[in-house]
Amino acid sequence: MRFRTSFFLMTLASGCGVTQTATPEAPKSPHASPVIESRVVAASGDFVSTMTTPVTSFGAAWDERYAYVLGGYFGEPHSYSAEGQSRAFSRMSLETGEWEVLSEMPHGLQGLAMTRVGTKVCAFGGNEAKNAAGEPTRMVSSQEAWCYDTEARAWSKLPSLPAGRSSHEAATIGSTVYVAGGWRLDGDPSTAEFHRDILALDLDDPGATWRSIEVPFQRRAVGVTAFDGKLVVAGGIEPSNQISSRVDVYDPATGELIQLPDIPGDAFGVSIVTVGDMLVGTTRDGAVHGLRAGDTAWRKLGTLTFPRFFHQLVPVGDDALLAIGGISGMHTFGRTRIVERFELSRELPRVSIVTVETPFSAKNRQGYFLAGEHLYLFGGNVSLEQHDFEPHHFTDEGWRVHLPSLRVERVASYPERRQTMSTLVLGDVGLALGGFGHDGTAAVSHVEGFLYDFAANEFREGPSLPGSRTQFGLTTHEGALYVFGGLSYDPARGDAAFDHVRTILRAASLDAEFETLEVTLPGSRRAFAGAKLGRRYYLVGGMKENFQLVDDCLAFDFEQETFESIACPAARLSGELLPFGDRLVLVGGAVRKGDDLEDSRAIEVYDPSTDTWTTILDELPFETKHMRALVAGDRLLLVSTHFEEPRLRLAFVELPKIGAMPAE
């Protein structure tokens, strides 16, 4: 009897996989819920640290031990004020990821440039906001230049720049500092003047003054680095507001100016560095591009987990870099908080994890939506135990997490106290259907469906099932909704409390009622892993009558409305199946271990063209009980709130190329 009970409770504790068919960008919060800056409990993998105050448009320099950060902006984009400008001069240990504040400037500054010269890190120019919050923006470009001696831990003044300059960058070749790009602001944006020269100052010459080198381009928000003894100026935006992908190279030895191949992607707010013998840049889409001397084109090396611009790159050794700060777009959700490591020679798969404290009460079985950069969590069960189904164990709480900034805020509550709903993102709305909850007498499966409007932050009634179900598969094909299998549970039915539903439902649209197809599932199946790929819906594992695991796997052809058998991995309960390129990825759930079930930590991949399964990761580095899985860009996102303390674990898995990915 104990064996039977554990099977039942485990399957009610986990639903089928979340299906994501679109990733709309979530809008600015339409409600007054306070935003919570989550405390980071732990980070690992490529997540090496988190910024105390995430910023954009800051200065950065580095030596063998530290990355130095000065100034930057943390306020609302394009609504600049003195209150939103950072005054801090900080450094991060490249060994431990720990941050410390070294000093503070008398006023905030953004859009400045920094570079290292020997034991000094030097800062040049930048924008100072002369207005308070709520006043008209008045930004003034600074002429100041300073150096911080990392050994003496003191600042000293350098000759001022010939004119105010901001939105520029700097690099060092030998003992000479070069400043390139940028513009001059004097408080009135209409009179902004783009610079058309590179400035040079030899710090070994005590009497040196700034030397101007005229160049045939005017750009700001550029990336600048020293590469092979030359100065590289990449990307940016021109006075015409045209974003440029151009890469210019100035040779101090000859005075020659040449061009390299254009850097791919949106290079506004680009960052470039030299790593070993390679020039490396990251553009707004998160792509990491590399170019070696003599190359005729940039090579894509991979992507950052969190795309960002107006960030800084810091090289670490000859084969890695750190991406610090930045933001993913002109939004108000928050700056990118995680400092991310990227190795040029990457061994995949890679698992990067961040765990944060949260105010969530639910421990598991929530409904999930992934919309743009936001993860939404609704409902769920507040207990860690498998069999706690009293009314107070169910919650209706709604939360969303902005993944790059790890900011949490309360959103609309789910209309019912419910768990194990099947969910689907459909453009600008999310659909949650069915599930399990208390009806006042007992915990039962339900029929209701609700639509969540991401822009309005509200639920409304959606399509309902003709009969109650939970633990079923939900997907869409050519605009129609499909429901596969599942369980109808009601203890009031006595011996018939468990009804394993084999019917397949179809609704032509969100406004249409579900109809029953003539074809039925070949056998009972609930708590299975299901995903659509192309014209087929795949069903892997699950549970049938008498609490037995399902050993077979199926593919349903939407056009023919027929099933065919496919190869199967080990029988699995409550796994997550996700489309990834032209393959399917299976993760999570439980597999047999003797007479018991053991949570699976492996990641397996199914190739429909060869009908074969391959294990690409033997063991994830954490417990997978009640874990949910989604596709986030070119990575898997594995989510869990199953902790004694209120916490959220986000694990991003970068997979090796396992098949053709969808076109960008």
pLDDT of the residue at 190:
84
- Token look-up 């207005």 returns 131
CA 117 to chain centre: 35
pLDDT-derived band at 659 (thresholds 50, 70, 90) equals low
pLDDT tens-digit map of 268-322: 999 999 999 999 999 999 999 999 999 999 999 999 999 999 999 999 999 999 9
pLDDT of the residue at 580:
94
pLDDT of the residue at 97:
96
Full DSSP string of 410-465: EEPPPSS--BS-EEEEETTEEEEE--EEE-SSSEEEB--EEEEETTTTEEEE----
| Averaged pLDDT, 236-243 | 97
pLDDT of the residue at 332:
85
pLDDT-derived band at 21 (thresholds 50, 70, 90) equals very low
Residue 370: partners with Cβ closer than 8 Å, 6 or more residues away: 18, 20, 23, 376, 425, 630, 631, 632, 637
Q: Which helix (H) or strand (E) holds 370?
A: strand 367-371
In angstroms, the CA 466 to CA 313 distance is 55
HEC string for 457-521: CEEEECCCCCCCEECCEEEEECCEEEEECCEEECHHHHHHCEEECCEEEEECCCCCCCEEEEEEC
Rounded to 5 degrees, what angle do the CA atoms 556, 560, 561 make?
50
| pLDDT over threshold 50, residue 229 | yes
Phi, psi of 546 (to 5 degrees): 60, 25
pLDDT-derived band at 77 (thresholds 50, 70, 90) equals confident
Per-residue b/e over 23-41, b at no fewer than 16 CB within 10 Å?
A: bbebbebeeebeebebebe
| Averaged pLDDT, 39-58 | 96
Mean pLDDT of the chain: 93
pLDDT of the residue at 187:
93
- Full set of structural domains in the chain with CATH: 2-26+358-654 (2.120.10.80), 39-46+57-353 (2.120.10.80)
| pLDDT over threshold 50, residue 9 | no
| Averaged pLDDT, 441-470 | 98
pLDDT of the residue at 660:
53
pLDDT of the residue at 102:
97
In angstroms, the CA 17 to CA 15 distance is 7
Coil, strand or helix at 48: strand
pLDDT tens-digit map of 569-619: 999 999 999 999 999 999 999 999 888 899 999 999 999 999 999 999 999
The strand pair at 320-324 and 40-44 is best described as unpaired
pLDDT of the residue at 17:
39
| pLDDT over threshold 50, residue 410 | yes
pLDDT-derived band at 330 (thresholds 50, 70, 90) equals confident
pLDDT tens-digit map of 100-141: 999 999 999 999 999 999 999 999 999 999 999 999 999 999
In angstroms, the CA 390 to CA 103 distance is 55
pLDDT-derived band at 33 (thresholds 50, 70, 90) equals confident
| pLDDT over threshold 90, residue 636 | yes
pLDDT of the residue at 56:
97
pLDDT-derived band at 23 (thresholds 50, 70, 90) equals very low
pLDDT tens-digit map of 177-188: 999 999 999 998
pLDDT of the residue at 474:
98
Coil, strand or helix at 353: strand
Structure tokens at 647: 């916490």
Short-list 549, 528, 55, CA closest to 327: 55
